[in-house]
Amino acid sequence: MRLYLLRHAEAEPDADTDAARALTATGWAQAAASADWLCGQVCPPAKVLVSPYRRAQETASVVVQALGLAAPVTQPLLVPEGDVLRIEPLLAACQREGLDELIVVTHMPVIAALSSWLTEGVLTTDQPFALAEVRVLEADVVAPGLCRRVAGFIPDVPERSALNWERPWEALDRLLPRR
Contacts of 63 (CB under 8 A, 6+ apart): 6, 31, 34, 35, 38, 48, 69, 72, 103, 105
Question: What pLDDT is attached to residue 160?
Answer: 52
Q: What is the mean pLDDT of each run of 10 residues along the chain (179 residues)?
A: 97 95 96 97 94 98 96 97 96 93 97 96 92 97 95 83 48 51
Collapsed DSSP state (helix, strand, coil) of residue 136: strand
The predicted model scores a pTM of: 0.87
Query: How many independent structural domains does the chain possess?
Result: 1
Question: Could you tell me the residue range of the domain that residue 103 belongs to?
Answer: 2-175
Residue 104's domain is classified under what CATH number?
3.40.50.1240
Question: What pLDDT is attached to residue 162?
Answer: 44
Task: Work out the burial of residue 143: count CB atoms within 10 Å of its CB; fewer than 13 is exposed, 13-18 middle, 19 or more buried.
Answer: middle
